[in-house]
Amino acid sequence: MTTTAERRGGRASERALADLREAILEGELPAGAHLGEVEIAERLGLSRTPVREALTRLASEGLVELEAHRGARVTRFSREDLDGIFDVRLALEPQATARAADHATPADLDELEALAGAMLAVGAPGPEQDLDALVDLNRDFHARLLALAHAPALAAALANVVHTPVVTRTFRTYDPDSLARSLAHHAEIVAALRAGDGDWAGAVMRCHLGNARAVMVGER
């Protein structure tokens, strides 16, 4: 969501960026892994140039760390880092959610509700449960919500720090109760937006983040 820089490089550069990001977020490239430019270039069938550009961007997003003449490493997120990220989210996302109430059209709300519904269906305990699908749906939901706020600076601040995917990489760490709460929050946010009550929506988002923080960061 580096809005403008994202659509550079018709093909290769963008592909390298997307592939690397996915590999990191998917856990395929574990935290602390060394990323050699040639290694990645060969792996993707590209030259070093676009790979280098992709690494530069990932570094500015904070997903990798660059050390001069020593290559790049996948960033290691400590418990404190994660906690700090939740501080930022709590400072910004409720506000964004509240603003979404002023801009959301009925069509927008229908889409959000569909996502929330899908998450409830996919996340319900039982043999049909698919926690991986949940990750994508969740990402979509939050992204759309953020877009509805019509606050580009706010969205940029979040995008460049939160690494939502890192934080929301998996729902497997959620215990059943927390997961149920999380899914219910999405639906409640839509309800609040439908009611045009930004304060309510923002409050739900705060609950949502508090719940997530407890799961991911643990005891404070």
Partner DNA sequence: CTCCTCGATGTTGTACGCAACGTAGGGTGC
Partner DNA sequence: GCACCCTACGTTGCGTACAACATCGAGGAG
Residue 4 or 105: the one with the smaller Cβ distance to DNA is 4
Nearer to a second copy, 92 or 137 (CB): 92
How far apart are the C-alpha atoms of 159 and 76, rounded to whole Å? 18
| Gap between the Cα atoms of 188 and 211, Å rounded | 14
Report the partner that residue 48 touches, choosing among DNA, a second copy, none (CB closer than 5 to 8 A by kind): DNA
What 3 state SS string does 7-19 have? HCCCCHHHHHHHH
Residue 61 binds: one of a second copy, DNA, none (C-beta under 5 to 8 A by kind): a second copy
Residue 47: name its binding partner from a second copy, DNA, none (Cβ under 5 to 8 Å by kind): DNA
Q: Does position 10 bind DNA by CB under 7 A? A: yes
Q: Least Å distance between CB 76 and DNA?
A: 18
Give me the amino acid identity at 160: N
Q: Which of 141, 131, 193, 197 is nearest to 164 (CA)?
A: 141
Q: What is the binding site for a second copy (CB under 8 A)?
A: 2, 4-5, 7-10, 52-53, 56-57, 59-62, 65-66, 68-69, 81, 84-85, 87-88, 91-92, 95, 151-154, 156-158, 160-161
Closest distance to DNA from the beta carbon of 2 (Å): 14
The footprint of DNA on this chain (CB under 7 A) covers a number of residues equal to 25
- 198 binding DNA? (CB under 7 A): no
The amino acid at 187 = A
**What is the pattern of x (binds DNA, CB under 7 A) and - over residues 12-51?**
xxx--------------------xxxxx------xxxxx-
Pairing of strands 64-67, 34-35: unpaired
What is the residue whose two structure tokens read 């280098």?
Answer: 52
Nearer to a second copy, 95 or 170 (CB): 95
Burial 155-180 (b: 16+ CB within 10 A, else e): beebbeebbbbbbbbebeebeeebbe
Which of 190, 71, 195 is CA-nearest to residue 141?
Answer: 190
Binding residues vs DNA (CB under 7 A)? 8-14, 35-39, 46-50, 52-53, 66, 68-72
